Amino acid sequence: MPVYNVEGVEQSDGEVFKLLPRGIYPAEIISSEFKEVTKDGSDYLGATYLSLGIKATDEATGLAVTCNEIIMLPFPNAMDAEQIRKSVAKLKLLQVATDTTDMGDALDSDGFLHKELRVEVVQKGKETDPYGIQNKVADYIPL
């Protein structure tokens, strides 16, 4: 069994994850990848989604939080017309906020990498949820 030396590692203040308060923050997309739903029994099995890691930073405190976001691509087998409309609208909003509208309908996940934008961050969930309260991106805003 491997042994790790933790000498010099500071003690935790007991708060594992810090949260940003609700607000609008400068952000950068630090990861972007198309993935496929592979969970057996899912209505979305075989569907594709865009998985984003968005780092939002509070410039006043220096606190940076990474929000993991998923945008489902239209999947008519399991989405009704309203869900498809919302999915497309969210993708278009992301393109406008990151100035990547030149992609048109041929999306390239690498085209979003390291793009800067502003995001509206909210807190979602409850203390009793498996992952507790988390920051989520509610809106993408151009710089």
Would you say residue 111 has pLDDT above 60? yes
Segments making up each domain of the chain, as ranges: 23-141
Cα separation, 74 vs 76, in Å, equals 6
| 3-state helix, strand and coil shares in percent for the chain, rounded to the nearest 5 | 15, 35, 50
Residue 81: phi and psi, rounded to 5, are -60, -40
pLDDT at 10: 59
- Residue 11: predicted pLDDT: 54
- Please give the Cα distance from 142 to 26 (Å, whole number): 10
pLDDT in tens, 16-47: 578 999 999 999 999 999 999 999 999 989 99
DSSP annotation string for 28-87:
EEEEEEEEE---TT-TTTT-EEEEEEEEEE-TTT--EEEEEEEEEPP-TTT--HHHHHHH
How many angstroms separate the CA atoms of 118 and 141, rounded? 5
Task: Judge contact between 91 and 71, C-beta under 8 A.
Answer: yes
For the chain, what is the mean pLDDT? 89
